[in-house]
Amino acid sequence: MRRPRLTGPSRTIWLMALTGVVALVAGLGLSQLITSPADAAAGAAPPAAGPITVPVERRVLATDVVLRGDAIYEDPASVLLETGDLEGPAVVTGQVPAVGATLAAGDLLLEVAGRPVLLLPGELPVYRTLRAGVAGPDVTQLKAALEQLGIDPGDAASPVYDAATADAVAALYARAGYPAPTAGADADLAVVGAREALRAAEDEVASARRALAAASAGPGPVDRIAKDNQVRAAQRALADAQALAGQVDPESGAPLVTASEIANLDDQVTAALVDRDALLAPTDPAQERAMVDAAQRARADAATALEAAQKSVLTPLPASEVVYLTALPRRVDSVEVHRGSTVAGTAVMSVSGAALQVAGEIAIVDGELVAVGAAVAVTLPSGADVPGTVQSVAPATDAARLRVVVVPAELTPEQRAELQGANVRMTIPVSSTDGEVLAVPTAALTAGPGGQARVEVLGADGATSLVTVETGLAADGFAEVTATTGTLEEGDRVVVGVASAAEEEPTSEESGGA
């Protein structure tokens, strides 16, 4: 049977009906995908809340103090020269050290006016030229410095600059390769004159002593015999005259001897006896003894003058030829003079300790944890760590901070070059547990009504209970805990927060960083 053919109007009606059915079906489908504002708000409501827990761990806890510091050379100092005793201008004539050079005790620091400036260990600055006979703490310091160099200065405990000290100074100059300083030609001439004066005084003493000895000994045998002979001759003449008394000359009738002649001969006998007695009488050589005393005093004065003259020519230590610095050896940081420069009271160079150190500042609360002698890890700019030691902890310029100075261990030349002038990190362990301990994240700790610390432990049944704990060292987000009420063991889960049931519980590492 043949279907009737649709005419134009009928076809249009059927198309319109089909389009309406399709639109109805699409609308019903889209209605399932569209959510109303009320339905959306209801769907955004959070699910029921639940606890976030992490396990109790056993671990070693350690606390570090970390700070940054600048690598510098220790104890910087400016070097000044004393040039007041120089007769001419203080011109630098050579031996200027290079920056970076190391200067040790006994080394030549500089050459000024053709003379060396020697470096010695000591704290007291130079303030005078040292000569034989002077005494003071600067002499004691010099002797100590010479002893450190292995040069014997004599009695090191004596503060007197003596001949042994002068000899030691001469040895110091010989070691440096320079002639020892002298007192000059005038001092040498003074020694020659003093020696001649002493010889003359000794001759005077000898002459006076001979005179005293002669005066004290009395007459000798020759003098005694001569005086005795004179007495006996006078007595014989008198006896002969007395024997002729009263006799006359037969021819002339005149007396052979007169009474006056006999009297004169008697006087001669008396005079001879007195003269002999005077010679033999004991004498008091007071005058001769006084002459000896005077001669001896003159000789003593001459000896003192010679000793002073000899001291004046002993090797001195001019103030312009020595510099004292502590903590030798030293590193030359800068040089302010060159050959031909004139030293005029300003620093000739700057030096620092030869040891490289790292200095940084830290808050007092952290600095009080740092002890002198503590081990330090110094991180080089390359990232490598080198060991070090805390040398000092002292107040900084800022009253609220402390200055920490660290000395690195032995460095290779490459490490020294890398560290010099760099700003680096220093890590100082200040406390650590003795082995592994029970530890929980600090976020798990709460305070009880009495201020006691406690943790909330999740049981196997899902219920939680509070366990009171005693806390120990805290580090890296964890705290050492020991249960004081209840029990707490490794693996127990403690509450660190609350989250929706859909959230995943954090690991111990995540909670430790909270």
The candidate with the shortest Cα–Cα distance to 458, out of 466, 446, 450, is 466
β-pairing verdict for 330-335 and 385-395:
unpaired
Per-residue confidence (pLDDT) for residue 78, from 0 to 100? 93
Highest mean pLDDT among 14-18, 36-40, 184-188, 257-261: 257-261
Per-residue confidence (pLDDT) for residue 7, from 0 to 100? 52
Per-residue confidence (pLDDT) for residue 341, from 0 to 100? 94
H or E element, residue 235: helix 221-243
H or E element, residue 264: helix 259-280
Per-residue confidence (pLDDT) for residue 426, from 0 to 100? 95
- Strands, E assignment, 56-199: 57-59, 62-73, 77-79, 92-94, 102-103, 108-112, 115-121
Residue type for position 499: A
Look at 218-222, 322-326, 495-499 and tell me which has the smallest mean pLDDT.
Answer: 218-222
Is pLDDT above 80 for 290?
yes
Per-residue confidence (pLDDT) for residue 8, from 0 to 100? 52
Backbone φ and ψ of 46, nearest 5°: -65, 150
- 173 beta partners: none
Q: What is the dihedral of CA 191, 192, 195, 199, to 10 degrees?
A: -170
pLDDT, mean of residues 412-439: 89
pTM: 0.51
Query: In the structure, how many helices (H) and strands (E) does the chain have?
Result: 11, 22
Per-residue confidence (pLDDT) for residue 327, from 0 to 100? 86
Highest mean pLDDT among 190-194, 220-224, 352-356, 368-372: 368-372
Percent of the chain surpassing pLDDT 70: 87
Neighbours of 496 (CB within 10 A): 25
Residue 24 CA to residue 38 CA, distance in Å, equals 25
pLDDT, mean of residues 482-486: 91
Per-residue confidence (pLDDT) for residue 13, from 0 to 100? 54
Is pLDDT above 50 for 514?
no
pLDDT, mean of residues 455-467: 91
Look at 160-169, 281-290, 344-353, 445-454 and tell me which has the smallest mean pLDDT.
Answer: 281-290
Six-digit token pair at 128? 């005078």
Per-residue confidence (pLDDT) for residue 456, from 0 to 100? 93
Residue 1's pLDDT band, with cuts at 50, 70 and 90, is very low
- 53 beta partners: 495
pLDDT, mean of residues 220-246: 87
Six-digit token pair at 335? 């040089």
Residue 315: exposure state from Cβ atoms within 10 A (0-12, 13-18, ≥19) = buried
Residue 170 CA to residue 230 CA, distance in Å, equals 73
Residue type for position 256: L
pLDDT digits (tens, 9 = 90+) for 76-126: 899 999 998 888 899 999 999 999 899 999 999 999 999 999 999 999 999
Per-residue confidence (pLDDT) for residue 513, from 0 to 100? 45
pLDDT, mean of residues 120-149: 95
Pick the residue with more confidence: 388 or 212? 388
pLDDT digits (tens, 9 = 90+) for 7-62: 555 555 555 656 555 555 555 554 555 555 555 554 555 555 678 999 999 999 88
Residue 81 CA to residue 91 CA, distance in Å, equals 12
Is pLDDT above 90 for 480?
yes
Average pLDDT, the chain: 85
The CA angle 292-297-303, to the nearest 5 degrees, is 125
| 372 contacts 394 by C-beta, under 8 angstroms | no
pLDDT, mean of residues 475-485: 90
The three-class DSSP label of residue 492 is coil
Per-residue confidence (pLDDT) for residue 43, from 0 to 100? 52
Pick the residue with more confidence: 278 or 442? 442
Residue 310's pLDDT band, with cuts at 50, 70 and 90, is confident
Per-residue confidence (pLDDT) for residue 12, from 0 to 100? 53
